[in-house]
Amino acid sequence: MKKQIKAPLFETLLSHAKRDVVSFHTPGHKNGRSIDSKLKSFTGEDVYSFDVTVFPEVDSLHDPTGPIKKAQELMAQAYGVKNSFFLVNGSSQGNIAMFMAACDPGDSVIISRSSHKSIMSGVILSGVWPIWIQPKIDQNLDIIFNSSADEIKDALDKFPEAKAVFVTSPTYNGVTMDLFKIAELCHSRGKILLVDEAHGPHLKFHQDLPVSAVEAGADLCVQSTHKILSAMSQGSVLHFNSDLIDFNRVRKIVSLLQTTSPNYLVLASIDLARRQAFVQGEAMLEKVMQAADYGRKKINQLGKFTCFTRQHIMSLGYDLDPTKLTINVTRTGFSGYQIEDILAKEYNVQVDCADIFNVIAIMGMGSDKSDVNALVDALEEIEDKYQGQQQNWILQIPSLSTEMVMMPRDVYFAAKTKRVPLSKAVGYISAQTLTPYPPGIPVLIPGERITKEISDYLTDMSAKDIRVSGQETETLRTLKVVVT
Ligand SMILES: Cc1ncc(COP(=O)(O)O)c(C=O)c1O
């Protein structure tokens, strides 16, 4: 594995930059010469000489034969898969590619209803029929769990026509599924397993972390190398490790979805993130995990904040990536959004995201104990300084049954639509996705029949002035529906 010390794309770009080549190629800033001076004085000049275009020396992302090919081969070797593709539009691109590469229009796919929004893009662009399975709510922890392996088995029994299963593991909270079991369930029936592992590019590199999708046997898996490892934003990887999917089709689909002007700095950062993870990952992640454990312990010693542990999640049949800290704030009397705001504005601590119940602090290769101390100190001070009011918020999923009567793609691209008052929408087919937060699970998806209970539920949201993601007007008094 001596080869893993190399970073072929980075090394090529570096040697190109050192030659100070006269640029008659895009981009127009010409090695940074015409970049805005304020930006340049902030960033330094050198970085712009990495911003090149496709030419033989630096290789092409679409048809790699040189350093990009070598870098992708090293990536595949590091993860133990057949092939890896560098992506410059994040795991969002990878999720869409997985649907389009693994499925034909009209195929059906089992998918958890609580998935990232790019999954809906994948469903629409690939033309598959989604078979939704409902996630579960944990009202003690105030988080959502994806379906268990047993529930996926039930779905496979019930829908033997499904061509593939699409799962998200880890979730935003770091909760992972029993992927070995799920891969076994899928492959024993000839079904494809697709995994959104956007939050798990590091799992492979420390033995104490939960099992990764590549180890468990996913056919395709996407990882945001930029989320936890050290790649720059937009840098992701799609891993191919399948006997069920045509490799050439994956290659063509990835190319179809990729810009012809990728940012080589992003590509080089993916190359280097792989090298770092392979060479130093175990040691670096050990420190990150220790800092996270320390933070979790400290937070749980505070009076009003709690942070669930890996043991607890394991007792529920899942596993936890301990580098993610989900901090429950309900005892403060403030929402997670309010605590996020206070942390950012008063303490210069920016968490990754928040919901009503929690703030989620994501650690990465660059995190250290001093960051954790800053977070813990801020939370301690917030506890003393602020008095919220006891709230009665409860995380729940409305028990609404849904019926998919048109393919989302047909609704999105072909169907004529109109707006009708919510009160008159019953019986129509929805032409929009509507997702109330919490719990962040869509109530309606394009192609689903609007039932009386869904209309009543949305009317209640509208009466309470609760904004629903996907509503296209200021108030939720009308719905976009298919004209039949
Ligand atoms: C579970 C999940 N999947 C996919 C994505 C999309 O990843 P990216 O931002 O790399 O496009 C995200 C982004 O937050 C995510 O949380």
Query: What pLDDT digit, counting tens, does each position of 349-380 carry?
Result: 999 999 999 999 999 999 999 999 999 999 99
Task: Determine contact, residues 194/165, Cβ cutoff 8 Å.
Answer: yes
Element (H, E) at 479: strand 478-482
- Tokens representing 248 are 């050439």
Structure confidence at residue 395 as a pLDDT band (50, 70, 90): confident
Q: Are 74 and 3 in contact (CB under 8 A)?
A: yes
* Distance from chain centroid for Cα 219: 18
Lowest mean pLDDT segment, chosen from 28-42, 176-190, 311-325, 437-451: 437-451
Residue 465 predicted with pLDDT over 80? no
pLDDT attached to residue 397: 77
* Cα dihedral 328→334→338→343 (10° resolution): -60
Write down the pLDDT at residue 59.
Answer: 98
Judged against a pLDDT cut of 90, whether residue 290 lies above it is answered with yes
Min mean pLDDT across 201-215, 272-286, 382-396 is at 382-396
Higher pLDDT, 460 or 237: 237
pLDDT for the residue numbered 396? 80
Catalogue all structural domains in the chain, each as residue range(s) with its CATH number. 2-103+180-277 (3.40.640.10), 284-385 (3.90.1150.10), 408-482 (3.90.100.10)
Residue 187: pLDDT band (50, 70, 90) is: very high
User: Per-residue pLDDT tens for 52-83?
Assistant: 999 999 999 999 999 999 999 999 999 999 99
pLDDT at residue 475 tops 90: no
What are the DSSP E strand ranges found in 158-298?
164-168, 175-176, 192-196, 220-223, 236-240
Q: pLDDT band at 438, cuts 50/70/90?
A: confident
Confidence check: pLDDT of 231 > 80:
yes
DSSP element (H, E) containing 280: helix 264-301
Which atom of ligand 1 lies nearest, measured to the CA of 95?
4
- What per-residue confidence (pLDDT) applies to 463? 82
The pLDDT of residue 23 is 95
Residue 448 has a pLDDT of 96
* Atom 10 in ligand 1: residue holding the nearest Cα: 90
Radius of gyration in angstroms for the set of CA atoms belonging to the chain, rounded to a whole number: 24
Measure CA 387 to chain center.
Answer: 34
Give the pLDDT score at 367: 98
| DSSP E strand boundaries for 283-411 | 306-307, 319-320, 324-328, 353-354, 358-362
Name residues whose C-beta falls within 8 Å of residue 240's C-beta, 6 or more positions apart in sequence. 81, 82, 83, 84, 85, 219, 220, 247, 250
Q: Look at residue 440 in the predicted model and tell me its pLDDT.
A: 85
Helix axes of 247-256 and 90-102: crossing angle, nearest 10 degrees? 140
Cα(235) to centroid of ligand 1, in Å?
A: 11
List the one residue out of 313, 302, 304 whose CA is nearest residue 141. Answer: 313
Residue-level pLDDT at 95: 98
Question: How far, in Å, is the centroid of ligand 1 from the Cα of 380?
Answer: 31
* Cβ atoms of 197 and 175 closer than 8 Å: no
Ligand 1 atom nearest to 89, measured from its CA: 11
Question: What confidence tier does 160 reach under pLDDT thresholds 50, 70, 90?
Answer: very high
Closest listed residue to residue 199, CA positions, set 165, 230, 168, 177: 168
The pLDDT assigned to 163 comes to: 98
C-alpha of residue 477 to centroid of ligand 1, in Å: 31
What are 302-353's pLDDT values in tens digits? Answer: 999 999 999 999 999 999 999 999 999 999 999 999 999 999 999 999 999 9
Take residue 208 and report the two structure tokens written for it.
């104490």
Average pLDDT of the residues of the chain: 95
Residue 466 in this model has a pLDDT that exceeds 80: no
Q: Which atom of ligand 1 is nearest to the CA of 93?
A: 11
| 2 C-alpha to ligand 1 centroid (Å) | 32
Find the distance separating the first CA and the last CA of the chain, reported in whole Å.
60
pLDDT at 98 (0 to 100): 98
Report the candidate in 315, 291, 371 with the shortest Cα–Cα distance to residue 175: 315
Tell me the C-alpha distance between 97 and 116, whole Å: 14
CB distance 51 to 250 below 8 Å = no
**pLDDT given for residue 399 in this prediction:** 77
Distance 309 CA to ligand 1 centre (A): 24
pLDDT (0 to 100) of residue 402: 85
pTM for the structure as a whole: 0.96
- Taking the CA atoms of 101, 104, 106 and 108 in sequence, report the sign of the dihedral they define: negative
- Per cent of the chain over pLDDT 90 is 88
Given pLDDT bands bounded at 50, 70 and 90, which one contains residue 382?
very high
Within 6 A (CB) of ligand 1 lie 90-92, 95, 116, 118, 168, 172, 196, 198-199, 224, 236
Q: Is the pLDDT of residue 391 over 90?
A: no
Residue to mutate (ligand 1; options 85, 87, 92; most atoms within 8 A of CB): 92
CA of 478 to the centre of ligand 1 (A): 30
Ligand 1 pocket test, candidate residues 88, 96, 114, 116, most atoms within 8 A of CB: 116
Residue 39, token pair as written in the block: 């930006």
Residue 145 host element (H or E): strand 143-145
- In angstroms, rounded to a whole number, what is the distance separating the alpha carbons of residues 19 and 28? 19
118 CA distance to ligand 1 centroid (A)? Answer: 8
